[in-house]
Amino acid sequence: MKKITLFLFSLVLSFSLNAQYIVDFEGDGETKGAYAPGIVNLSGLDWEMTETLIGTSASDWKNGSRSARFRGYGESEMVMVEDKANGAGNISFEYRRFGSDSQVDWKVEYSVDGGSDWVQVGSVFTAPDSDDVQVFSEQVDVDGDIRFRIKRETEEGSSNRRLNIDDIIITDFGAGDINLTVSSPSEDAVFSPVTESLNVNLGIFNFSLSSSAEENDGDGYIQYSLNQQPFVDVFANSFELVDLSAGETYTLLVKLVDNDGNDLDTPVEVTRNFSIDTFIEVNNITELRADYLENGAGRFYEITGVSTMSHSDDFNNRKWFQDENFSGIMIFDNSSVIAEDAYEVGDQVTNLIGETAVFNGVLQLAPLVDNGVVVGNQMPETQIITISQYLADFQTYESTLIGFQNVSFVDADGSAEFETGQNYDFTDGIDSSIIRSEFFDADYIGAIIPTGTLDGLRGVASQFNGTAQIFPRDLNDIDVVLSINGFEKTQFSLYPNPAKNFVNLEVPAGESFEVNIYNVTGKKVYSTKINGSTRLDINSLQSGMYMINFKQGNQNTTRKLIIN
């Protein structure tokens, strides 16, 4: 059973819904994708964020789709650059480490003179080296105009020590005597399809809970109702919602009552709507990527068909898969949901499930549970393309194995060695691209960069914010012997492209090939066998983008075709 802890800790409801200022980073325009200093309007007030961005990646902890990500440098901070009216009674937020980063110290301060002088609120805090979400909550009790900042306590360091913060709540000064505080889930929050229970934690101010209905040793107790079911009595500041189901929408009502179970004279209650999402079933990675292009990231998928693993490494438990249409995706598993050794290269796996996210331009799938089933093993195939083809359309090849013939390293001098985490240019004499030594345990680290023209160079296709790269997996991917590694001996082409009524396929004279055409959902829409160059009639195909796959024995390659 998957359990998600909800720190229903903020959204202060006392006697007025307007008695708080809330930053949940979910509003229109509340985006910032870089660490460089910049001002973002958050819930109506401007904040300057330095070495801080608004994160959306799979490694960002967040309630919803976004949260603040502090880089952890000495100058990391977010500062209100205009005042909040009505003072501050309490400030609270939730925080957790980003991914598995080591952590550093932080503090909260306020200013009542426009930012000239600052006063610390509460104690310095540091996130634990775990995935446990923490709550910062401190009384301020300052009237008048006020502004806040969250910053590094120790103003030094330039290593990533990233921290996520979400749901900042600042209540007004003197907002009310009795407060029930609730933050997450935010209104209309959507949780993953594997969520079956929620642990609800409450914050209660100026109201003591009785230990039972009989004891009457406090001011009263809590009642909650889910989807208008009978109210349940609670005598602690936490309770669990169980038997939640994928595809369902829920309304949670939480309120304070007196010892007789009656509403308070001035009702104190909170209502929240949330839902449990469902998996989108797709046949293959091709169909998943098509849905992502149409609807964006942050959706939950189950890939029912076969995906073949081409590589894995132990950095965030990453795994690369591709399907028979040469569409690929990277599994980003920093929580080790899937065992590191669960799959081997070549394993054909069905029923992979996870949530999509994009990081540095690369589409990722973050697994929710290890649901994969190995149904076979066959070494993944490599597409042989030119550098020109790759540069023109690198997103199509992303996370698949690709190879280049007759290329050379630009900076090879016979003594330079491969180092970890470095970029190296390679060229075919006309165009150039980049390999990156992404895998720190690769056996070519420390080896001499080969000089001269290589028979072949291959790797996992990737990018870094729009710059095409490939990641060689090991020495077998560098200066490979084409005949041994199954590379093609001849380039394939098609024209015209875009096409309308027909398309010409250029292949080696006298050689036979199986030709399959797939639409963007991965469905095969045309299949034939050809011998030598051939003209295909495509009048039966609708306008759109297609992939043409040429196959001969264990070798195959794919080209993109656009039909007008």
* CA distances in angstroms from 105 to 97, 125, 140, listed in the order given: 12, 6, 21
Average pLDDT, the chain: 88
Same domain, 167 and 310: no
Same domain, 163 and 74: yes
What radius of gyration do the chain's Cα atoms show? 28
Q: Which of 174, 203, 237 is the last residue of a domain?
A: 174
pLDDT at residue 124 greater than cutoff 60: yes
User: Does 14 reside within a domain?
Assistant: no
Contact call for residues 96 and 164 (beta carbons, < 8 A): yes
Task: Please state, in angstroms and rounded to a whole number, the distance separating the CA atoms of residues 245 and 278.
Answer: 9
Task: Please state, in angstroms and rounded to a whole number, the distance separating the CA atoms of residues 132 and 305.
Answer: 35
Same domain, 190 and 228: yes
Q: CATH number of the domain that 338 lies in?
A: 2.40.50.140
pLDDT for res 486? 39
Task: Please state, in angstroms and rounded to a whole number, the distance separating the CA atoms of residues 169 and 175.
Answer: 13
* CA distances in angstroms from 93 to 73, 174, 182, 228, listed in the order given: 21, 19, 11, 29
User: Does 123 reside within a domain?
Assistant: yes
Q: Which of 154, 174, 194 is the last residue of a domain?
A: 174
Q: Which residues pair with 58 in a beta bridge?
A: none
Same domain, 24 and 83: yes
pLDDT for res 222? 95
Lowest-pLDDT range, 165-174, 400-409, 415-424, 519-528? 519-528
Task: Please state, in angstroms and rounded to a whole number, the distance separating the CA atoms of residues 64 and 274.
Answer: 11
Backbone angle region of 394, left / alpha / beta, with phi > 0 → left and psi within -120 to 50 → alpha: alpha
Q: CATH number of the domain that 457 lies in?
A: 2.40.50
Structural domain including 342 reads: 280-377
Cis-peptide into 496, omega within 30 deg: yes
pLDDT for res 359? 85
pLDDT for res 64? 78
375 pLDDT band, cuts 50/70/90, is very high
Q: CATH number of the domain that 254 lies in?
A: 2.60.40.10
Contact call for residues 561 and 535 (beta carbons, < 8 A): no
pLDDT for res 5? 45
Same domain, 364 and 255: no
CB atoms within 10 A of CB 516: 18
pLDDT for res 74? 96
pLDDT for res 177? 64
Q: What is the pLDDT of residues 133-156, one digit of tens each?
A: 888 988 899 999 999 999 999 999
Q: What are the backbone angles phi and psi of residue 291, rounded to the nearest 5°?
A: -65, -40
Same domain, 273 and 316: no
Residue 562 tokens read as: 């656009």
Q: Which of 214, 245, 277 is the last residue of a domain?
A: 277
In the chain, the number of structural domains is 5
Between 254 and 4, where is the model more confident? Answer: 254
| Mean per-residue pLDDT, 157-186 | 82
Same domain, 31 and 162: yes
User: Does 273 reside within a domain?
Assistant: yes
pLDDT for res 511? 81
Lowest-pLDDT range, 392-396, 414-418, 505-509? 505-509
Q: What is the pLDDT of residues 236-294, one digit of tens each?
A: 888 889 999 999 999 999 999 999 999 999 899 988 899 999 999 999 999 999 999 99
User: Does 15 reside within a domain?
Assistant: no
Beta strands across the sheet bearing 232-234: 189-191, 269-276, 249-257, 221-226, 232-234
522 pLDDT band, cuts 50/70/90, is low
User: Does 205 reside within a domain?
Assistant: yes
Task: Provide the whole-model pTM.
Answer: 0.67
Task: Please state, in angstroms and rounded to a whole number, the distance separating the CA atoms of residues 443 and 440.
Answer: 9
pLDDT for res 255? 95
The alpha carbon dihedral of 354, 358, 359, 361 has a sign of positive
Q: CATH number of the domain that 501 lies in?
A: 2.60.40.3080
Reduced to 3 states (helix: H, G, I; strand: E, B; else coil), residue 545 is strand
* Degrees to nearest 5, angle at CA 91 with 90 and 95: 145
Same domain, 61 and 108: yes
| Mean per-residue pLDDT, 188-210 | 84
Between 421 and 63, where is the model more confident? Answer: 421
User: Does 13 reside within a domain?
Assistant: no
Dump the DSSP string for 421-464. T-EEEEE-SS-EEEEE---TT-TTTTSBPPPS-EEEEEEEEEEE
- Segment holding 294, helix H or strand E: helix 285-295
Same domain, 25 and 170: yes
Same domain, 363 and 422: no
pLDDT at residue 485 greater than cutoff 90: no
Mapping DSSP onto H, E and C, the string for 40-70 reads: EEECCEEEEEECEEEECCCCCCCCCCCEEEE
User: Does 68 reside within a domain?
Assistant: yes
pLDDT at residue 75 greater than cutoff 90: yes
pLDDT at residue 490 greater than cutoff 80: no
| Mean per-residue pLDDT, 516-542 | 86
User: Does 97 reside within a domain?
Assistant: yes
17 pLDDT band, cuts 50/70/90, is very low
Task: Please state, in angstroms and rounded to a whole number, the distance separating the CA atoms of residues 78 and 38.
Answer: 10
Same domain, 185 and 248: yes
Lowest-pLDDT range, 92-106, 150-164, 479-493? 479-493
In the chain, pLDDT over 90 holds for what percent of residues? 61
pLDDT for res 555? 66
Same domain, 56 and 185: no
- Work out the widest C-alpha separation in the chain, in whole angstroms: 93
Residue 105 tokens read as: 């110290």
